[in-house]
A and B are shown apart, each in its own frame.
Chain A
Amino acid sequence: MRAERQVYLDHSASTPVDPRVLETMMPYFSEVYGNPTSAHRYGRDAERAIEGARESVAALLNCQPAEIIFTGGGSESDNLAIRGAAWWARTYNAPTRLITSPVEHSAVSATMRQMSALMGFDSVVAPVDRYGLVDASAFRHACARGGAIASIIYANNELGSVNDLPALADIARAGDILFHTDAVQAGGQLTLDVKLLGVDMLSLSAHKFYGPKGVGILYLRNGVELAPSLTGGGHEHGRRAGTQNTPFIIGLARALELAYQENAERLAHFRRMRDRLIDAVLGRIPDAQLSGHPSRRLPSHASFILPGIDANALLMHLDMNGVAASSGSACMTGNPEPSEILLAAGYTAEEAKSGLRLSVGAHTTEADIDYAVDVIVNAVAKLSLLSREPLS
C-alpha cells in the first residue's frame, strides 16, 4: 500500500539536482569531453569551462580563482584541509596540534581521531554549549598552546546551529593557527564570503544545494600551504591530483550561482516552511523539544528531541507513511548508537537516541508540512503507547 503522499524532508542529507543545473552539465559529458590538461582544442575547451566555473565560485566566495580547489566532495575537502595542514606543519617543524569541536561532521572528527591515534598528532576538543555552539572562551583556551589547524563546523548538520565563525577565526588567527570550517550544511544558505568569515579554509559540497553528488570545493587562502593527499599530476595547482570532473564542476558552479542569485526567496521560503513545522511539532507533541539554537540556525533545518521515542523505529513509521526524515543515531543496521553530537550538547544517552531531523527544501509546500506533521504526531503516539505497554 503506497502512502497517500510522499514528502521529502531530508534536504540536509541531499537535494535533487536542479533541472537548470543538469542542463548546464549535459554538454560536458559527451561534447566537451577533452582532458582539461591536454594541449589540443578539446583540452582547451574543457579547461576554459573549468576555469570559468572557478571564477564564478571565487566571485561568490569573495576570493581569487586560484584559491579554489575542486574536489570529490565535502569529506574529501575536509580531509585535504586537515591532513594537508597537519602534514605540512610536521614537515616544517611548526606546531602540529589539531583543534576541533565535539560536534563536527565525521569527515572532520574521524580524520582528527585517526591523525591522533595512528599518526601521533596531539588533538584538543573545545566543548560546546546546549545548542552545539562552540564557546569563544573555551575555544580561546583550546588554542592557547598553539596548533597547526583548528576545524570548526559552520552550521551543524544535526542541530542546525550556526557558529560565530568571524569571532572564532579571530581567536585562531591570534594564535597563528590555520582556521578551517566545514561549511557543507551552510552552503547555498549562509554567506560564504571568506573575507567576512575570516577563514583560511572552507569546505563545500554541491549536492547540498541542488548540485550533483561527488563534487565539492576547498577554499584555500592564498599563502596557506598544504601537503596534498592525492598526489599525481599537477591538477588543481598541485593540490589535488586527478583529471577534473568537468561536468560535475560545471554543475557545482551553476548550482552555487543559482543558490545565491535566488538566496533571498529561497531562505524566505525555507524559514516559512521550517517555522510552520517547528510550531506544529512543538504544539502537537507535548514532550517534544527543539534541539539546536532557536534563532541562530539554518533556515532549512528543524530538529527535535522526542523523549522516550526510538528514533530508529520512528523513521520506519515515517517512511511507511511516505515521509523521509533522519536522525543522528538511526542507522540501517538497527544498531543505533546515541548521537555523539547530542551527547556533546549535554543530552542523555536516551535522549541522544530520540533525535529527529527534518530539513525543508525549495519544493516543500505547506501541505507537505501539514501532512508530515500529522504522520509524525500519529507515529509518536503509537510508539509511546508501545513503549509504555507492559510486557506479557
Chain B
Amino acid sequence: MSRADTRVVVAMSGGVDSSVAAALLVEAGYDVVGMMMRLWSDPAMGGADNNRCCTPGQMSDARRIADKLGIPFYVLDTKDIFRHTVVQYFIDQHRDGYTPNPCLECNRRIRFDWLLRNALALDADFLATGHYARITADESGKWLLRRGIDAGKDQSYVLSVMSQDQLALTLFPVGEYPKSEVREIAADLGLAVASKQDSQDLCFLGKGDYRSFLRLHAPDVIKPGPIVNSDGDVLGEHRGLANYTIGQRKGLGISSNEPLYVLAMNDIKNALVVGTRDQLGRDSLIAENVNWISGGPPADSFRAAVKIRYRARPQPAAIKISADNTMRLRFDEPQRDITPGQAAVVYQDDVCLGGGLIAKFESKGNPCAPKPSNSARPVASLA
C-alpha cells in the first residue's frame, strides 16, 4: 500500500501540535483528512461555544490550516457522547471523593474509540493526533508506547489507557520532534499558529473553573464538612472536598503554629484531613483498573519508574501485581501528593507500560485500612 493510498485522519485542534502533525503527514505523501471534534461545554459557563478545545477561533484556525495544506476538513458533532462519558465521569469521580483526570477518559472513550471508529468508517487506515509520544514495534511485533523525544512535553501519561489494537491504528507524528522544532516547522510552513500558547486546563469548563462547574452540576459534591488533624481533632470547616487537592497549603482558612497541608480526603465522613509537612509523605499506593499496553504486566513484581500526575517526575518504585487489574506500588522515596483519582503510570526507560487509577495511598510502614464493605469507594487512610 503506497502512502498516497493510505488514508490518515488527523485530529486537528487549530493548535501548533496537531497542525504540524497534519503538515508532516501531508509532506510524507499520505491521503490526509482533517477532523475536529465539536465537544460539549457548559452553556451556563460562558456559552456552548466555549469548549477550550474547539472555540470558534480554533475551528477557523484549523479550517484555514487544512485549506493551506490542501486537505479536506470536517467538524464532527461530539457533544452528546462527550457530555455523557467524559463530563459525567468527571462529576461522578468527584462525587466519589476522587480528583479525576478527564483527559485520560477522553482518550479512552472519545479520541481513540469514538473518533477512531469514525475515522475507520471514512475508510481511514490510521488516526493521527498531535500528542508528544511515539509508537514503535518490539521484536515480537508488539506495539510499544514510548515517551516523546521532548521529555518536557511528553504526553504518554494521558495515552496510558491505549490498547494494542488502538496503537496499531494510531500515528503520533510530532512525537519524534522536540517542541522547539515543532514550532519551527510550524513557522516554516507559515502556519499562523506557531507562537500560540499550549492549551491548559479542562476543556469543558468554558470560562469558569472546576469548582464553579461542580457547584452547578453536582452541588451535593460541594458539602461543607470538618477539617480534622490526623488525631481526629476538628480544626475548622471546609467548603466541600472538591475544592481542595492533596498537598495544598494555601486557602485552608485555619490558623496554626506551623503550616498545615491537605493530607487526605475522607469522603465517607466528608472530612478534610490536614497535617504538618512531615506527615505529608506517602510511600505506597494501590492502583485499580490497570491497563497494560502490551496486554499484561511484564512480571508479577518488578521495578519501574512511576508518574503519579501528568506533570510529575517519574519516581522509582517497586510494583507488585495483584488480581483484578490492580497493582500495589512502593516508592523508594515518599511522595507528597499522591492523589486518588489520578493515574499512576508505569515506565521502563522510555516505554510506557500502562497505568491505573490511584484508588488509595498508604502511609509509611502503615498498611491501609480495608475498603468499607458498604462502598466500592476507596478511602484515603487517615494517616
Q: Does B151 contact A (CB under 8 A)?
A: no
A328 to B81, CA, bound (A): 22
B122-A335 in contact (CB<8A): no
Report the minimum CB–CB distance from A388 to chain B (whole Å): 11
B75-A334 in contact (CB<8A): yes
Per-position 1/0 for A320-339, Cβ under 8 A of B: 10000000000011111000
Q: Does B118 contact A (CB under 8 A)?
A: yes
> Of residues B5, B37, B74, B113, which shows the largest number of chain A Cβ atoms within 10 Å of its Cβ?
B74
For B36, the chain A residues whose CB sits under 8 A away are: 334
A392-B113 in contact (CB<8A): yes
The count of chain B contact residues (Cβ–Cβ below 8 Å) is 32
Q: Which of B7, B56, B59, B122 contacts A316 (CB 8 A)?
A: B122
B77-A312 in contact (CB<8A): yes
Known: A1-B7, A334-B37. A391 touches B75 (CB 8 A): no
Residue on B with the closest CB to A315?
B74
The count of chain A contact residues (Cβ–Cβ below 8 Å) is 20
Residue on A with the closest CB to B108?
A392
B72-A319 in contact (CB<8A): yes
Known: A320-B122, A386-B118. A391 touches B113 (CB 8 A): yes
B113-A334 in contact (CB<8A): no
A391 to B116, CA, bound (A): 12
For A312, the chain B residues whose CB sits under 8 A away are: 75-77
> Of residues A312, A382, A392, which shows the largest number of chain B Cβ atoms within 10 Å of its Cβ?
A392
- Count of inter-chain pairs, beta carbons less than 8 A: 60
A320-B33 in contact (CB<8A): yes
Enumerate B76-92 residues with CB–CB distance to A below 8 Å: 76-79, 81, 85
> Of residues A310, A320, A334, A383, which shows the largest number of chain B Cβ atoms within 10 Å of its Cβ?
A334
Known: A320-B33, A334-B36. A391 touches B109 (CB 8 A): yes
Residue on B with the closest CB to A313?
B76
Q: Does A317 contact B (CB under 8 A)?
A: yes
For A320, the chain B residues whose CB sits under 8 A away are: 33, 72, 122-123
Q: Does B38 contact A (CB under 8 A)?
A: yes
> Of residues A317, A319, A336, A391, which shows the largest number of chain B Cβ atoms within 10 Å of its Cβ?
A391
B31-A1 in contact (CB<8A): yes
For A336, the chain B residues whose CB sits under 8 A away are: 77
Residue on A with the closest CB to B121?
A382
Residue on B with the closest CB to A385?
B121
A334-B78 in contact (CB<8A): yes
A332 to B114, CA, bound (A): 20
For B369, the chain A residues whose CB sits under 8 A away are: none
For A316, the chain B residues whose CB sits under 8 A away are: 74, 76, 122
Name A residues whose Cβ lies closer than 8 Å to a Cβ of B.
Answer: 1, 310, 312-313, 316-317, 319-320, 332-336, 382-383, 385-386, 389, 391-392
